[in-house]
Structure 1
Amino acid sequence: MDSTVTKEVATELLPIIRVYKDGTVERLMASPIVPPFPEGDPQTGVLSKDISFSITPDSSISARLYLPKLPDQQSHKLPILVYFHGGGFCIESASSFLVHRYLNILVSQAKVVVVSVDYRLAPEHLLPIAYDDCWDALNWVASHSARGATDKEPWLLEYGDFERLFIGGDSSGGNIVHNMAIRGGVRISGAFLVDPYFWGSKPIGSEPKEGHEESLLSRLWKLVYPSSGLDDPLINPVGPGAPSLAGLGCSRMLVCVAEKDILRDRGVAYIDAVRTSGWEGDVDLFEAEGENHGHHIFYPETDKAKEMFQRLASFLNH
């Protein structure tokens, strides 16, 4: 008799994730976990380390910090980037290989200090927990500029310029960036959103008109935030009832899209809405022609990816 027990699947979103009725989760697309390099990454020389910090006595947040290789006599402070990784709110982490490789490249080119937030993932921790974790992490970073603050991180104090505090993210991380900026309350110099995961109940642009409610991106949002809907302002920032984009709490914004990405038209609609909202900041659009979602993360050696890294580095330094 076969003693193997076949577990029943509760939800399956291929090729991303499989959730079983007993509560266990298979993250099918997640890249391997890799360690930090406190002595420097062999390819880029970028230093990295893992930390955790407490916002309340009964909770803590983890993050991976990055510091570029610097000359012995470093005389000026560096921009600070609080980064939110992608993965549909349900896969990847601050220590995932793809995220780690991507940030090593970006840090080496942009010469910035990065705090990559390891927010909690759905479905074990349903939204809005990820937003709350990221908001707490952003406020913790910003608190380093206040006198008398406790639990300070030496890399931020020694190397970080709090007059140049940026937020950035890819895919679901780009969605998080918008939702951090629209909250206000933290002084942010700039924000970049790459291939942001925005969606809605009605298809727009080139999105397929049939089966929209049952599309992968619709089902993904229902998995990570089942008590919400597709026109929740968290996922549809230009939908009915969304707060005015004139209230975005930063002075500069860069939105990057990929021509072949199904999310491309949402990103363009977002930037058009920002431009017509009355927001007084500067916003730019960068489109990677002929490329698909996350191309620069999966294939960083291509010419288009290199162009993307140069654009991000330029944004973080001007």
Structure 2
Amino acid sequence: MDSNVKELATEVLPYIRVYKDGSVDRLVDSPIVPPCNEDPETGVSSKDIVVSKSPPISARIYLPKHVEQSPKVPLLVYFHGGGYCFESAFSFVETKYMNRLAKQANVVVISIEYRLAPEHPLPIGYEDCWSGLQWVASHSIDGGLKDEPWLSTYVDFDRLYVGGDSAGANLAHVILLRAGSEGLNGVKIKGAFLTHPYFWGSKPIGSEIKNNEEREKLAVCMIWHLVYPEAPGGIDNPMLNPVVEGGPSLAGLGCSRLLISVAKEDLLRDRGVSYYHAVKKSGWKGELMELVDVEGADHAFHILAHESETAMKLIQKLASFIV
């Protein structure tokens, strides 16, 4: 046997391979790209910032063109997708998406670069996102540190939104529950959108595969076991299965408005629909917008097929939610 060949520990194809020496091959990441002083397509400016040195959390922040000439604008704190174990706030597809969203909504956007599993297993990613949101909210306090001038100068903190896609939507959900129970330095989250949220559970619903052995081989299950091997309850941990019996009440979501969007061809669609109806029945006091269910579209199409007319329409829908 070639001594230079690394021994495989586990793999979830076509996404990731993990080797016994602890190294990881991420197979589907889009290229990392630098921030831009003025994006040629949208005119949006971006830069990379350090949120925390210990733990190491960074972010990419986006400023729409001419925002300095208008009253203060809303802020979107965003959590990228990628199964908690790949993609980046600094990647090409995420940057393309954030530029378009910042322009369409005329908002400042800050996309948090949380640490990835399996090197940093969950719940580390949840903690990083919460710390990032707390740091952002600290800019609202008079006499606070105000490390980032784009936040303290241009943002109306009465119009703070959070959002995410796929695993990022799951992260946003967990953050909303935490904000509802712990508060956020006196800042209220006005709204949140969860796009194609990564939720799952052991009991099949809707059109999901019924065979338990086949379900365990699905990437959605295998990734969760990879990124959170110590999760209490496994696949029915309330972080992944928010409607599981005994989980936190969705009435505690800490925002005033909520938009859920799913895609007809997405394996995760029925989970998003179930979540929408569970929020509706929970007694949550906020405004739940009409469920967005896009025909003929698959998971994260608005990012992966970002040039399509369908993607443009969804981005516009999300942008119009932020007011």
Deviation at 1:310, TM superposition (A): 1.1
Corresponding residue SS for 2:164: strand
| 1:218-257 pair list within 5 angstroms | 218-228=221-231, 229-257=234-262
| 1:45-60 pair list within 5 angstroms | 45-54=43-52, 58-60=54-56
* One-letter amino acid of the counterpart of residue 269, structure 2: R
Deviation at 1:213, TM superposition (A): 2.2
- Equivalent residues of 2:74, 2:155 under 8 A apart: yes
In the alignment, structure 1 residue 213 sits paired with structure 2 residue 216: yes
Deviation at 1:150, TM superposition (A): 1.2
Pairwise CA RMSD: 1.3
| Counterpart for residue 12 of structure 1 | 11
- Equivalent residues of 1:245, 1:277 under 8 A apart: yes
Distance 2:284 2:61 in 1: 32
Corresponding residue SS for 2:97: helix
| Counterpart for residue 61 of structure 1 | 57
- Equivalent residues of 2:138, 2:146 under 8 A apart: no
Q: Which has the larger displacement, 265-274 or 305-314? A: 305-314
| 1:155-174 pair list within 5 angstroms | 155-174=150-169
Match of 1:272 among 277, 292, 298: 277
- Equivalent residues of 1:231, 1:240 under 8 A apart: no
Distance 1:263 1:35 in 2: 32
- Equivalent residues of 2:30, 2:91 under 8 A apart: yes
TM-score of the two chains, using structure 1 as the length reference: 0.95
Match of 1:295 among 301, 304, 317: 301
Deviations along 1:3-51, whole A, 9 cap, x unmatched? Answer: 67211110110000000011100000111100000x2111111100000
* One-letter amino acid of the counterpart of residue 226, structure 2: L
Corresponding residue SS for 2:256: strand
How many aligned positions are there? 312
Corresponding residue SS for 1:42: coil
Deviation at 1:60, TM superposition (A): 3.4
* One-letter amino acid of the counterpart of residue 110, structure 1: A
- Equivalent residues of 1:82, 1:117 under 8 A apart: yes
Distance 1:58 1:225 in 2: 22
Distance 1:156 1:58 in 2: 21
Distance 2:49 2:317 in 1: 29
| Counterpart for residue 201 of structure 1 | 202
Match of 2:70 among 55, 58, 75: 75
Identical counterparts, % of pairs: 58
Deviation at 1:144, TM superposition (A): 0.7
Distance 2:245 2:15 in 1: 29
Deviation at 1:148, TM superposition (A): 1.9
Distance 1:90 1:99 in 2: 15
* One-letter amino acid of the counterpart of residue 268, structure 2: L
Corresponding residue SS for 2:32: coil
* Residue segments in structure 1 that go unaligned for 5+ positions in a row: none
- Equivalent residues of 1:9, 1:19 under 8 A apart: yes
* Residue segments in structure 2 that go unaligned for 5+ positions in a row: none
